[in-house]
Structure 1
Amino acid sequence: TEAQDEPTLEQQFAQFQTQVKEIAEDLTEKTKTTFEQLEKSEFAVKTKNWFTEQFEKMKQTLSESFN
Structure 2
Amino acid sequence: MVKLATDAGFALEGQSEINANPQDTKDYAQGVWTLPPALKLGNEDKAKYLAIGESDRMTLRFVKPAK
Q: Could you tell me the TM-score, scaled by structure 2's length?
A: 0.23
Richer in strand (by share)? 2
* Higher RCO (CA 8 Å, separation ≥ 6 residues): 2
Larger Rg: 1
